[in-house]
Structure 1
Amino acid sequence: MFRSLAIDVAARRLPQSTTIVRHRSSRRPLSSPHSHSLTRFLSTPIAPSPTSTKSIPPPPPPSPASRKPKVDLRPAPIKPQVSTSSTTYISTKPNVRLPRPINVVPTEPTATLGSVKETAKRDIEDAEAHGILKPPPPDASWVKRTLHKAIELAKFYYRGVKLIFVRRKEINLIRARIKQGGPPLSRAENRLIRTQKDDINKVIPFLFIALLLEEIIPLIAIYAPFMLPSTCILPSQRARIEEKRSEKATTFAITHRTLFLSLRSRDQKDGGLTMDALREPGVATAFCGLLRLSTVGIDSLRIRRIRNHLDFLAIDDQLLIQDNIFHRLSEKSIEEALEERGIIISGLSSKAKEARLKWWLGSVSEISASPDARRLQLILSKL
Structure 2
Amino acid sequence: MLRQVGRGALQHSIQRKFLRVHATPCFVRLYSIPTPSTNTSSNPKAPLPLPPQKKPKIDLRPGPIKPKPPSAHAPGAAKIPPSIPTQAPHATTEHKAASPAEEVKKDLQDAEQHGILIPPPADANWIKRTLHQAIQLFKFYYRGVKLIFSRRKDIAIINSRIKAGGPPLTRAEYRLIHTQKDDINKVIPFLIIALLLEEVIPLIAIYAPFMLPSTCILPSQRERIEAKRSEKAATFSAQYYQTYRDLKLAENPSGFLPLSSLHLDSAPTAICGLLGLSTIGIDYLRIRRIRRHLEFITRDDQLLLQSKNTLSPQELSDALRERGMLNHGLQPKDLQSRLSWWLDAVKNFSTIPSDDALARRLSLVISHC
TM-score (norm 1): 0.68
Matches within 5 A, 1:203-222: 203-222=187-206
2:342 pairs with 1:360: yes
Q: Distance between the aligned counterparts of 2:146 and 2:169, measured in 1? A: 25
CA gap of 1:377–1:152, structure 2 versus 1, over 3 A, is same
8 Å contact from structure 2 (residues 148, 180) kept in 1: yes
Matched residues in 1 for 2:187 and 2:328: separation? 33
Q: Give 2:161's aligned residue.
A: 177
Query: Contact 2:120–2:132 (CA<8 Å) still a contact in 1?
Result: yes
Alignment partner for residue 251 of structure 1, among 216, 235, 241? 235
8 Å contact kept, 2:277–2:289: yes
Pairing 1:327-342 to 2, within 5 Å after superposition = 328-342=310-324
Q: CA deviation at 1:378?
A: 1.1
Spell out, residue by residue over 1:122-179, the C-alpha distance to the aligned partner (whole angstroms, 9 max, x if none).
1111101100001111111211111111111111110010000001111111101111
User: After superposition, what is the alpha-carbon deviation per residue over 1:22-62, rounded to whole angstroms, capped at 9, x for unaligned?
Assistant: xxxxxxxxxxxxxxxxxxxxxxxxxxxxxxxxxxxxxxxxx
Aligned residue number for residue 16 of structure 1:
none
- Classify the secondary structure of the residue corresponding to 1:365: helix
Letter in structure 2 aligned against 1:353: L
Distance (Å, rounded) in 1 between the aligned partners of 2:266 and 2:182: 26
Q: 1:365 to 1:271 in 2, by over 3 A?
A: closer
The CA RMSD over aligned residues, in Å, is: 1.8
The match for 2:326 is 344
Does the alignment pair 1:146 with 2:130? yes
SS at match of 1:251: helix
- Within the alignment, does 1:372 sit opposite 2:358 as a pair? yes
Larger Rg: 1
String of CA shifts for 1:238-275, please: whole Å, max 9, x gaps: 10000000000111111011111121133256974211
Return the alpha-carbon distance in structure 1 between the equivalents of residues 255 and 293 of structure 2. 24
Instruction: Evaluate the alpha carbon distance shift between residue 261 and residue 148 of structure 1 in structure 2; reply closer, same or farther with a 3 A threshold.
Output: same
CA 1:186–1:132 in 2, change beyond 3 Å: closer, same or farther?
same
Partner of residue 192 from structure 1, selected from 170, 173, 176: 176
CA separation in 2, counterparts of 1:226 and 1:313?
Answer: 19
Q: Report the Cα offset of residue 351 of structure 1.
A: 2.4
Letter paired with 2:231:
E
Tell me which amino acid in the other structure corresponds to 1:309: H
Which residue of structure 1 lines up, in the alignment, with residue 257 of structure 2? 273
Q: Separation in 2 of the partners of 1:192 and 1:271?
A: 32
Please name the residue that 2:143 is paired with. 159
Is 2:229 the counterpart of 1:229?
A: no
Report what 2:25 is aligned to: none
Q: Aligned in 2, Cα 1:125/1:216: closer, same or farther, shift over 3 Å? A: same
Partner of 2:367: 381
Kindly report which structure 2 residues correspond to 1:1-383, keeping only aligned pairs within 5 A, or say none.
115-267=99-251, 272-325=256-309, 328-367=310-349, 370-383=356-369
Whole-angstrom CA distance in 1 between matches of 2:332 and 2:323: 17
Query: Offset of 1:366 from its aligned partner?
Result: 2.1
One-letter amino acid of the counterpart of residue 336, structure 1: D
Letter in 2 for 1:165: F
State whether residues 256 and 362 of structure 2, in contact with CA within 8 Å, keep that contact through their aligned partners in structure 1. no
| Unaligned segments of structure 2, at least 5 residues | 1-95
Relative distance call for 1:234 and 1:134 in structure 2 (3 A) is: same
Percent of pairs with identical residues: 60
